[in-house]
Amino acid sequence: MNAQPVPDLQLLRLSKRYGAVLAVDAVSLDVEPGEFVTLLGPSGCGKTTLLKSIAGFLQPSEGSVVLRQTVINDVLPHLRQIGIVFQHYALFPHMTVAQNIEYGLRVRGVDRATRRRQARDALDLVRLPGFDQRRPGQLSGGQRQRVALARALVNRPQVLLLDEPLGALDLKLREQMQIELKAIQRDVGITFVFVTHDQDEALTLSDRLAVFNQGRIEQVGTPREVYERPETAFVAGFVGTSNVLTGESAQRVYGEAGTFAIRPERITVSEASAGAKGDVRVTGEVHELVYAGAETRVLVELETGDTVVAVQHNVSENGYHALRRGQQVWLSWSRQQAVSLEGS
């Protein structure tokens, strides 16, 4: 029988209080070696406080941070073998790229030749060979972010923390850097713990993601598990878009009590009743049409008073945008694709 791998990082009922405010509430999480785990949640939900507690910048009120089976609550940040990359790169503008990357090695007393060699290796890792003599002001936003990443990687941390590192980039560059960051993480094999409020970013990058709400983790799973099978109404609404019906509305649409979620792309809109036997079928009035290039979002007000969003990819000229506001339509979807959120 193969032994289970020892987690690189464990959080054991970690809490952080600020007076009467409980910012992080008894969070437990195992991060396996080489994993890319994302802490996803809205602003103010506690994910950055948790990251700073892992890094050692904040002292937990209760619980433990365990790095490869060693509790490190009382270990100083620079001795934790944990690197961190922030949204704002914090590069020294008067130093060259090489000097920025070497800074931590120099503080630790690493000799000059070794520093230079390791800095060049780190630049190769982040796809910036030959940039060692440039200064931060001569670099693009994406290049500065890569230098910040190289500076963290050159110290060879056991775990690398990344706090919204792509947040300052424009959308197109951000999307490019998402692909690059995942490729770099795969190449170096270091465990990454990534913080973001961007659901698309979390789904793109993560091996697993932990969805945060009000200081607690509501669900942990692979991107597919969290998207396809959300466990709570908050997760269903925050990770992607979901149509959540509960109470009397759920009873009228699904024929049973409870709380149910269905993704917009699972819904078919038609001008006449359609759908396979056993499908959910309801009628409503088109409230709004939102053309978004690749897709059209159709907002339909049901007889229950709820508004349901449906999505269709615009693969031809004859898409949903041919509908009109105020038109009566039928919605249908497979009952098996609706997720029960009992207990939400």
φ and ψ of 67, to 5 deg: -110, 110
Query: How many whole angstroms separate alpha carbon 207 and alpha carbon 194?
Result: 11
Of 61, 66, 3, 55, the closest CA to residue 30 belongs to 66
246-252-257-261 Cα dihedral, nearest 10 degrees: -40
Question: Which residue ranges make up each domain of the chain?
Answer: 9-237, 243-340
- Just give the CATH number of 243-340: 2.40.50.100
265-320 residue pLDDT tens: 999 998 877 665 668 999 999 999 998 888 889 999 998 899 999 998 887 665 55
20-40 residue pLDDT tens: 999 999 999 999 999 999 999
131-180 residue pLDDT tens: 989 999 999 888 888 898 899 988 889 999 999 888 777 888 888 888 88
CATH superfamily of 9-237: P-loop containing nucleotide triphosphate hydrolases (3.40.50.300)
Q: Which DSSP string corresponds to 222-241?
A: -HHHHHHS-SSHHHHHHSS-
Q: Is the separation of the CB atoms in 341 and 231 below 8 Å?
A: yes
Q: Is the separation of the CB atoms in 174 and 188 below 8 Å?
A: no
Query: How many whole angstroms separate alpha carbon 184 and alpha carbon 142?
Result: 14
Residue-level pLDDT at 283: 92
